[in-house]
Amino acid sequence: MNTDSKIAEIYDNIVARNAGEPEFHQAIDELFDSLKLVLRKDPHYGENKLIERLFEPERQIIFRVPWTDDNNEVRVNRGFRVQFNSVLGPYKGGIRFHPSVNLSIVKFLALEQVFKNSLTGLPIGGGKGGADFDPKGKSNMEIMRFCQSFMMELHRHIGEYRDVPAGDIGVGAREIGYLFGQYRRLNHRHESGVITGKALNWGGAQVRTEATGYGVVYFTEQMMKAQGESLDGARIAISGSGNVAIYAMEKAQELGATVVGFSDSSGYVSCPDGVDLELLKDVKEVRRGRVSDYAKDATGATFHEDGLIWDLDYDIAMPCATQNEIDADVAQLIADKGVRYLAEGANMPSTLEAIDVYRDAGIIFGPAKAANAGGVATSALEMQQNASRDSWSFEYTEKRLQGIMTSIFKRCEDAAAEYGVEKDYLTGANIAGFKKVADAMCAQGVI
Ligand code: NDP
Ligand code: 2IT
C-alpha cells in the first residue's frame, strides 16, 4: 500500500471510532492535510501505530456536577477533562464553562492544545476540560457552588505533575479562585502549581491575564515584519470582547493600530476612532456587562444588533470569540474588504472552507495553535515561578512572552520553508508541533 492510501485508511479509522464528533473531526482533518507531507518524506513516523496513538486521547473523564441554585433547586451539569497527551510534560490546558460544551468540543480543544503546547517549546503536554454550565446570569454564590462541585470530582485527576488546568471561555480569575480554594481544601496542601491564571497576590504570574491577547498581536507583528510592514496605522476588527479580545485590543493600540470594532454574542460595536480600554475593562471585567453597555457610555461608538463585526472597514482581522465563527461566506466578506492579515485568537474560529478562502485570497494567516499560544506559554512560566517559589516582574515576563512568540513564529516559518510551503504558517505550525511530540513518543516507547 502506498503512503497516501495508508494515510487515508488511518484517517478513516480515526474518524469512524469517534463518530458524531464534528469539531474533533474538523481539527483532525486540518492536521492530516499537513501530516501527509511529513509522512511522505519521513515514513518512519507511520511506524508502531504512532499516528493512531497520537489521535487517541490518553484519558477521557466525564463526570456529574450537581449543585444548588439560589432558589434551592438542584441542578445537574456534565463535567469533562480530556487528558490528551503527556509525552512532553503534565497535561496542560484550560477549562471552559459554556452551555455548548460537549465531548467533541473538549476533544478538539485538547488535540489543538497538544500541538500548541509543543510549539511553545516549553515542557507541557495537552489537555482540556469544561462543563455545559452557563455562567450568564448566575450569582457569585452560584458560580462558587458550581466550581466547588466541579472540583469535588476533578481534584483526583489533577496535580502539579499530573494535569494543570487554567481558564478559557467562561472561566476567569473569579472561577480560578474558587476552583483552587476547593482543591486546596480537599487535598490539604497549598499546591500553587496545580492551576494557572491565579490572582497576583496568591501565586499568579504577571502578564498571564494579558498574555493570550498580547501574544496574538506579537504573532501578527512577526507576520507583518516578514512582509516589511508594521502595525502602526493599521485598522483592526476583533470579534469577541472577553479576555483574549480585550488584551489583543490593548497591545494593538499600544503599537499604533486602531481597533475599529469588537463584539459579543448579542451584536457588535463600531468605534472608528479606537477603543477606550479603561471603559471596556470596567464594563466587561468589573460590571460583567455587554458590549451594548459600552456603546451607551462611550463617545463615538455605536452598537449594532444586526450584521457582523466583519461588515466594518479594516486591514487586519482577529477572530477572538469561539470556534467556527467564520465560515466560507464570512471569509469571503473578509477577503472582499481587502484584508491582508488574519490572526486567530480563538481556537479554531475558521472552518476548513474559510481557510481555503484565505488561501485563495492571499490573506496571510496566523493559525490559532501558533497565534494564541501566548496564554498557555505564560501559564508554563507561572508553573515555573510556582515551582521555584519566585515571582518575576511584569517587564521581564513580557519580554519572555515576546521571545516565545517570536520563536513560535520562527518554528512555523522554518517548517513551512522546509516542506516547500513558504508562508503557509498553518502547515508550518502543524508540522513543527507534530514533530516534537512524535519524536518524544518514538523515544518513550509504545505507550
Ligand atoms: P471569555 O469568556 O473571556 O470571552 C469569550 C468571548 O467570546 C465573549 O465576548 C463571548 O460573548 C464570545 N463568545 C463566546 N462564545 C460565543 C458564541 N458561541 N457565539 C458568539 N460569541 C461567543 O473567553 P476568552 O476570551 O478566554 O476565550 C475566547 C477564545 O479564545 C476561545 O476560543 C478560547 O478557547 C480561546 N483562547 C483563550 C485563551 C485564554 O487564555 N483565555 C488562550 C487561548 C485561546 P458572550 O459574552 O456574548 O458569550
Ligand atoms: O486555549 C488555551 O490555550 C487556553 N485556554 C489557555 C490554557 C492554559 O493552560 O493557560
Q: Give the C-alpha separation, 422 to 408, whole Å.
A: 15
Phi, psi at residue 164, to the nearest 5°?
A: -125, 95
Classify residue 336: in a domain, yes or no: yes
Residue with the smallest CA separation from ligand 1 atom 20 is 265
Classify residue 348: in a domain, yes or no: yes
Q: Containing domain of residue 17, as a range?
A: 3-54
Q: 142 and 222: one domain?
A: no
- Give the residue-averaged pLDDT of 38-53: 95
Q: Based on the structure, what is the number of domains in the chain?
A: 3
DSSP single-letter state for residue 226: T
Calculate the CA 175 to chain-centre distance. 18
CA of 244 from ligand 1 middle (Å) equals 7
Classify residue 260: in a domain, yes or no: yes
Nearest CA to 131 among 113, 155, 151, 159?
151
| CATH code for the domain in which residue 95 is found | 3.40.50.10860
| Top mutation candidate among 212, 323, 382, 404 for ligand 2, by most atoms within 8 Å of CB | 212
Q: 156 and 184: one domain?
A: yes
Q: 237 and 138: one domain?
A: no
**Ligand 1 atom at minimum distance from 100 CA:** 18
CA of 313 from ligand 2 middle (Å) equals 30
CA of 5 from ligand 1 middle (Å) equals 38
Q: 228 and 335: one domain?
A: yes
| CATH code for the domain in which residue 296 is found | 3.40.50.720
User: For the packed helices 103-120 and 374-387, what is the interaxial angle rounded to 10 degrees?
Assistant: 70
Ligand lying nearest the CA atom of residue 111? 2
For ligand 1, which residues put their CB under 6 angstroms from it? 98, 167-170, 172, 212, 240-245, 264-266, 320-322, 345-347, 372, 375
Torsion 153-155-157-163 (CA) sign: positive
CA of 99 from ligand 1 middle (Å) equals 13
Q: 247 and 354: one domain?
A: yes
Q: 93 and 137: one domain?
A: yes
pLDDT of 350 above 70: yes
pLDDT of 95 above 60: yes
CA of 230 from ligand 1 middle (Å) equals 27
DSSP single-letter state for residue 171: B
Q: Kindly indicate the confidence band of residue 4, based on its pLDDT and cuts at 50, 70 and 90.
A: confident
Classify residue 390: in a domain, yes or no: no
Residue with the smallest CA separation from ligand 1 atom 10 is 264
Residue with the smallest CA separation from ligand 1 atom 30 is 346
Nearest CA to 253 among 277, 269, 229, 272?
277
Residue with the smallest CA separation from ligand 1 atom 35 is 346
Say whether 337 is catalytic: no
What integer pLDDT is reported at residue 3 of this predicted model?
83
pLDDT digits (tens, 9 = 90+) for 375-404: 999 999 999 999 999 999 999 999 999 999
Could you say which of 341, 366, 391 is where a domain stops?
Answer: 366
Active-site position among 92, 128, 198, 436: 128
pLDDT digits (tens, 9 = 90+) for 133-186: 999 999 999 999 999 999 999 999 999 999 999 999 999 999 999 999 999 999
CA of 49 from ligand 1 middle (Å) equals 35
Q: 252 and 137: one domain?
A: no
Q: 161 and 68: one domain?
A: yes
Classify residue 385: in a domain, yes or no: no
**Ligand 1 atom at minimum distance from 348 CA:** 32
pLDDT of 1 above 80: no
- Give the residue-averaged pLDDT of 396-414: 98
Residue with the smallest CA separation from ligand 2 atom 3 is 376
Mean pLDDT, rounded, of the chain: 97
CA of 425 from ligand 2 middle (Å) equals 20
Ligand lying nearest the CA atom of residue 379? 2
**Ligand 1 atom at minimum distance from 166 CA:** 40
Residue with the smallest CA separation from ligand 2 atom 9 is 93
Ligand lying nearest the CA atom of residue 90? 2
Classify residue 438: in a domain, yes or no: no
Ligand lying nearest the CA atom of residue 213? 1
pLDDT of 339 above 90: yes
For ligand 2, which residues put their CB under 6 angstroms from it? 92-94, 113, 116, 166, 168, 196, 347, 375-376, 379
Ligand lying nearest the CA atom of residue 326? 1
Q: 312 and 221: one domain?
A: yes
CA of 180 from ligand 1 middle (Å) equals 21
Classify residue 292: in a domain, yes or no: yes
Q: Report how far apart, in Å, the C-alpha atoms of 55 and of each of 52, 95, 116, 254, 419 are.
A: 6, 20, 15, 40, 22
Residue with the smallest CA separation from ligand 2 atom 4 is 94
Exposure on the CB side of residue 447, measured as CA atoms within 13 A: 13
Could you say which of 366, 383, 401 is where a domain stops?
Answer: 366
| CATH code for the domain in which residue 23 is found | 1.10.285.10
Alpha-carbon torsion angle 107, 112, 115, 119, nearest 10: -150
Residue with the smallest CA separation from ligand 2 atom 10 is 376
Q: 102 and 159: one domain?
A: yes
Q: 182 and 259: one domain?
A: no
Q: 325 and 221: one domain?
A: yes
Classify residue 445: in a domain, yes or no: no
Q: What percent of the chain is predicted at pLDDT more than 70?
A: 100
Phi, psi at residue 185, to the nearest 5°?
A: -70, -45
pLDDT of 26 above 70: yes
